[in-house]
Amino acid sequence: MIEKILVAVAGRGLCEEMFNMLMDIPSLQNTSVTVLHVVPPQVTSDGMAAKLEEGGKILAQAVQSLKIDPSKVNPRLKQGDPKTTVCQVAEEEKADLVIMGSRGLGRLQSILENSVSQYVFQLTSRPMLLVKDDIYVKKIKRVMVALDKSESAKQFLELALSFAKEVSGGQIILVHVTKDLTANAEKDPVLAPAVALAKQMGVSYRCVSATGKPGEAICKIADDVNADLLVIGSPDRRPNVAKNFVDLDRLLGNSLSDYVRVYANCPVLLARTVA
């Protein structure tokens, strides 16, 4: 259940738009939201003062644009490294979801260009909803969920189903990329239990079974079905002793969730689970 949302804003407005689209989902309308803007350290005190003033205006505009009871909004203006500060605030606020903008940089480019979203993606234990700069944020009706055989898949399937169930005209698109296609996608052994759950919850559904490289196939299907939101699992595979170290698969862009993060043409909800 999502009760606390952290929205990290940078003055572009996309995260605020995404949050407002989520507010069309009745069960999320009682959530509280922390709106965070981080001001990086500056060389001079005058420079820092100017940036803090600018940051205050960005934060105020973001808060005013949110379609939620103002009493449920906690604005926070922080000074520091945006990458680590977002992670810290997400933990402090015990956020159930972090909404961030993303330039959609891939692999080493995101490291070389000091990508905040990529760093947070690597290190946070919180689910993330990434909104790329070059996409159009739409009302959430078609929720696509990429499924596999993992136990964690059921957790984010239920979240996706709850989104689709609560919006007028909502539909869930159930997707499985497999080596062994079945003639009827509903009979796919991974999709069949999801279909049963969708029927039980009274959610309109569509099944798609495909072959090929999972990342490429998932992104293509998202385009084909015109998905408004893509939900995919992003397990944390690191042992407890290494939680403060970067996941090299994610760092180098070799994980499925990282590929989808970069190339999907819709907002991507990375459902963080522990492997």
Length of the chain: 275
Q: What is the pLDDT of residues 118-168, one digit of tens each?
A: 788 878 888 999 998 888 899 999 999 999 887 777 778 988 999 999 999
What would the mean pLDDT of 175-188 be, rounded to a whole number? 90
DSSP 194-208: HHHHHHHHT-EEEEE
The class (CATH top level) of 142-274 is alpha beta
Q: Confirm or reject CATH 3.40.50.620 for domain 4-132, answering yes or no.
A: yes
- Report which of 97, 98, 105, 95 is spatially closest to residue 132, judged by C-alpha positions: 105
Taking residues 83-98, report their average pLDDT.
94
Mean pLDDT, all residues of the chain: 86
pTM over 0.85: yes
Helix ranges (H only) for 93-170 are 107-112, 116-123, 152-166
Domains 4-132 and 142-274 share a fold: yes
Provide the residue ranges of all domains of the chain, joining segments of one domain with +.
Answer: 4-132, 142-274
Q: How confident is the model at residue 242 (pLDDT cuts 50, 70, 90)?
A: very low
- For residues 39 and 53, the answer to whether their CB atoms sit within 8 Å is no
> In the chain, pLDDT over 90 holds for what percent of residues?
61
Q: Residue 167 in contact with residue 24, Cβ under 8 Å?
A: yes
Give dist(CA 179, CA 194) in Å, integer. Answer: 19
Half-sphere exposure of 174 (CA within 13 A, CB side): 27
As a whole number of angstroms, the distance between CA 89 and CA 93 comes to 6
